[in-house]
């Protein structure tokens, strides 16, 4: 299937938009079709400089690069494909042509109503508790008058003539059968007085000419769908299938809003969420696999996803779930990849980390402990900065390590560790030798290992003593123990 994502460049990519893009991408992949990106910039007043680039970068980060249409090539915005241009402001002639065809066929009419008249009309309707819609004043103008006004070049829009007596039904891929009464449908403006099309005309023309098979878009467009189907019919074209995805909601079931939640996908990127986690999270907003499985890679989603399992009801944006998925995805990263991503970040703080041949061992120690990569450098600080000796930390009532006992403990530690050769400096042999010695000296494991770990890291919590000693290496381990031991004597 040919599917498309058609954002308007009015700001950052909304998380709801990213989810729509994801669904369209998945269907294209699943059906070995193509995923297009089209820019809908006919509302020039709302277009924001740089928005297209931001959106493309965010899509790329998420792994949703388009196959056709607007894309980044060597850092600049490019268009690829035979059905372009893929930016609506470059297609104005096409929209005008089809608007004229509709006019000539009597399916649309020019409307000369001034904004003042329309406001007055709307206020009257509201006062009478009627739904606001165009009253068709201009649909009934005498032909001669219309021609005169057009000849004079009077400002006008073009409106779609909706047959009021018709009932419009269609089958939505998510919602099933949907019906709308013709008389509730407004005579939609198709072409504005500035010659720009509205979304309604533009996307119908584009979806036809770009041979889109399935339109996946937000629920807010559901009620406009009959107009779109009517346009397809009036233009003599076969419409695509439609799937309207449910709204994203705040925890209190109101529409997801900036005030309660970050709504720009980019903010999640900056906060350090993995694209894998955000994609997994967005997929589960509205879709459920029908099994217990919760972790899905993009590839797994491509296999498992189906529109039939997308719900109609709004989906609650539950950040706790996102954080949980983030933790899962961090741990799911292969160690080598985790270490690579972390090394870069750590080197920003501790330049020597960039050339640390043992970085992977260090990363391994915290792989299970971080939720965000950015927590990593903090946790690794003790590898790159000698800890301060803290007597209150070295002694520990819970482990029955008293201050009086510390000199003995350090003596035992240094003596035992000195005898272990560099070649044997592994977790297993350190463990074996230290625990054997603890027994001989009648010390508990905790009495020996707590001060060791505390002296090496300067932290109340960290990976275990053996692992830390191995990652630090013999030389640094003994150096730190000596420093701690010396401060005991002061």
The residue among 215 and 449 lying less far from ligand GLU, judged by its C-beta, is: 215
**Sign, Cα dihedral of 411, 413, 417, 419:** positive
Look at residue 197 and give its three-state secondary structure.
strand
Nearer to ligand GLU, 199 or 268 (CB): 199
* DSSP 8-state class, residue 182: G
Comparing CA positions, the residue from 157, 170, 168 lying closest to residue 197 is: 157
For the CB of residue 232, give the shortest distance to ligand GLU in the complex, in Å.
14
Q: Which stretch binds ligand GLU (CB under 6 A): 2-10, 47-55, 105-113, 176-184?
A: 2-10
Strands 76-80 and 68-73, how do they pair? antiparallel
Tell whether residue 40 is a contact of ligand GLU (CB under 6 A). Answer: yes
Instruction: Give the nearer residue to ligand GLU in terms of CB position, either 1 or 488.
Output: 1
Query: Per CB under 6 A, which region of 213-221, 278-286, 392-400, 460-468 contacts ligand GLU?
Result: 213-221
Residues 8-27 that bind ligand GLU (CB under 6 A): 8
Give the single-character DSSP code of 353: G
Which of residues 7 and 246 has its CB atom nearest to ligand GLU in the complex? 7
Which entry of 258, 408, 411, 419 is annotated as an active-site residue? 258
Q: Where are the beta strands (DSSP E) in 81-188?
A: 108-111, 157-160, 167-172, 176-181
What number of chain residues touch ligand GLU (CB under 6 A)?
9
Nearer to ligand GLU, 40 or 276 (CB): 40
Q: Which is nearer to ligand GLU, 69 or 376 (CB)?
A: 69
* DSSP β-ladder status, 241-245 and 214-218: parallel
Assess contact for 427 and 467: CB atoms under 8 A: yes
Least Å from the CB of residue 6 to ligand GLU: 4
Residue 425 dihedral angles phi and psi, to the nearest 5°: -75, 70
Tell me if 362 contacts ligand GLU by CB under 6 A: no
The site string for ligand GLU over 237-276 (x = CB under 6 A, - otherwise) reads ----------------------------------------
Which residue(s) pair with 111 in the sheet? Answer: 157
Tell me whether residue 88 or residue 457 sits nearer to ligand GLU (CB atom): 88
Beta strands in 184-288 (DSSP E): 189-191, 214-218, 241-245, 248-249
Other CB atoms within 10 Å distance of the CB of residue 207: 24
CB–CB of 134/108 below 8 Å?
no
CB atoms closer than 10 angstroms to residue 413: 25
State the nearest-atom distance from the C-beta of 226 to ligand GLU, in Å: 15
Whole-number Å distance between alpha carbons of 473 and 489: 25
List binders of ligand GLU among 176-205 (CB under 6 A).
199, 203
| Binding window for ligand GLU (CB under 6 A); candidates: 71-79, 119-127, 132-140, 215-223 | 215-223
Question: Which of 3, 6, 29, 387 is the binder for ligand GLU (CB under 6 A)?
Answer: 6
- Residue 7 engages ligand GLU in binding (rule: CB under 6 A): yes
Distance CA 23, CA 48 (A): 25
Cis peptide before 472 (omega within 30 of 0): no
Question: Which residue, 8 or 416, has its beta carbon nearer to ligand GLU?
Answer: 8
* Nearest distance, CB of residue 5 and ligand GLU, angstroms: 7
Determine the 3-state secondary structure of 17 from DSSP: helix
Q: What is the DSSP pairing of strand 157-160 with strand 189-191?
A: antiparallel
Least Å distance between CB 13 and ligand GLU? 10
Q: Does 258 participate in catalysis according to the annotation?
A: yes
- What is the closest distance, in whole angstroms, from the C-beta atom of residue 10 to ligand GLU in the complex? 8
Q: Does 41 bind ligand GLU (CB under 6 A)?
A: no
Residues 29, 34, 200, 217: which binds ligand GLU (CB under 6 A)? 217
Buried b (16+ CB within 10 A) or exposed e, 306-331: ebeebeeebbebeeeebeebbebbbe
Q: Nearest approach, Cβ of 223 to ligand GLU (angstroms)?
A: 13
C-alpha span between 342 and 359 (Å, rounded): 9
Q: How far is the CB of 52 from ligand GLU (least distance, A)?
A: 12
Closest CB to ligand GLU among 180 and 338? 180
Sign of the Cα pseudo-torsion (351, 356, 360, 366, in order) = negative
Closest CB 254 distance from ligand GLU, rounded Å? 20
Window of 4-12, 111-119, 328-336, 341-349 that interacts with ligand GLU by CB under 6 A = 4-12
Taking the CA atoms of residue 452, residue 455, residue 456 and residue 457 in that order, the dihedral angle to the nearest 10 degrees is: 120
Residue with tokens 């339109």: 215
Binding site for ligand GLU (CB under 6 A): 6-8, 40, 199, 203, 215, 217, 221
Q: Which amino acids are annotated catalytic? A: 258
């Amino acid at each position: 299937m040919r599917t498309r994502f058609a954002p308007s460049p009015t700001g950052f990519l909304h998380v709801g938009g990213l989810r729509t893009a994801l669904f369209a991408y998945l269907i294209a992949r699943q059906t070995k079709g193509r995923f297009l990106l089209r820019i809908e910039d006919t509302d020039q007043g709302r277009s924001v400089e740089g928005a297209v680039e931001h959106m493309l970068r965010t899509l790329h980060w998420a792994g949703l690069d388009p196959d056709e249409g607007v894309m980044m090539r060597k850092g600049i915005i490019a268009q690829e494909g035979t059905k372009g241009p893929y930016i609506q402001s470059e297609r104005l002639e096409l929209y005008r042509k089809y608007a004229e065809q509709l006019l000539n066929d009597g399916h649309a009419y020019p409307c000369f109503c001034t904004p003042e008249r329309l406001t007055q009309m709307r206020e009257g309707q509201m006062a009478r508790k009627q739904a606001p819609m165009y009253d068709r004043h201009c649909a009934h103008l005498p032909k001669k008058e219309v021609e005169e006004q057009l000849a004079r070049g009077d400002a006008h829009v073009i409106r779609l003539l909706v047959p009021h007596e018709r009932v419009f039904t269609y089958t939505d891929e998510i919602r099933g059968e949907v019906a709308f009464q013709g008389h509730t449908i407004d005579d939609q403006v198709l072409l504005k007085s500035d010659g720009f099309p509205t979304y309604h005309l533009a996307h119908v023309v584009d979806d036809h000419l770009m041979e889109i098979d399935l339109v996946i878009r937000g629920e807010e467009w559901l009620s406009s769908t009959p107009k779109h189907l009517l346009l397809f019919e009036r233009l003599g074209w076969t419409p695509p299938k439609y799937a309207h995805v449910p709204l994203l909601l705040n925890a209190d079931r109101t529409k997801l809003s900036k005030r309660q939640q970050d709504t720009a996908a980019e903010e999640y990127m900056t906060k350090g969420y993995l694209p894998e986690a955000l994609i997994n999270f967005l997929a589960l907003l509205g879709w459920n696999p029908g099994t217990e499985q919760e972790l899905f890679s993009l590839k797994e989603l491509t296999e498992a996803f189906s529109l039939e399992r997308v719900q109609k009801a709004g989906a609650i944006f539950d950040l706790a779930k996102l954080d949980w998925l983030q933790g899962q995805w961090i741990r799911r990263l292969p160690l080598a990849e985790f270490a690579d991503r972390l090394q870069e970040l750590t080197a920003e703080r501790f330049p020597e980390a960039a050339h640390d041949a043992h970085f992977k061992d260090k990363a391994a120690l915290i792989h299970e402990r971080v939720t965000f990569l950015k927590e990593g450098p903090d946790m690794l600080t003790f590898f790159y900065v000698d800890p301060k000796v803290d007597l209150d930390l070295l002694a520990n009532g819970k482990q029955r390590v008293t201050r009086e006992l510390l000199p003995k403990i350090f003596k035992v530690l240094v003596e035992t560790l000195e005898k272990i050769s560099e070649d044997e400096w592994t977790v297993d042999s350190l463990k074996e030798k230290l625990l054997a010695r603890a027994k001989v000296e009648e010390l508990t494991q905790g009495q020996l290992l707590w001060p060791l770990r505390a002296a090496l890291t300067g932290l109340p919590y960290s990976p275990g003593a053996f692992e830390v000693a191995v990652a630090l290496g013999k030389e640094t381990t003994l150096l730190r123990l000596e420093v701690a031991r010396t401060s005991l004597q002061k």
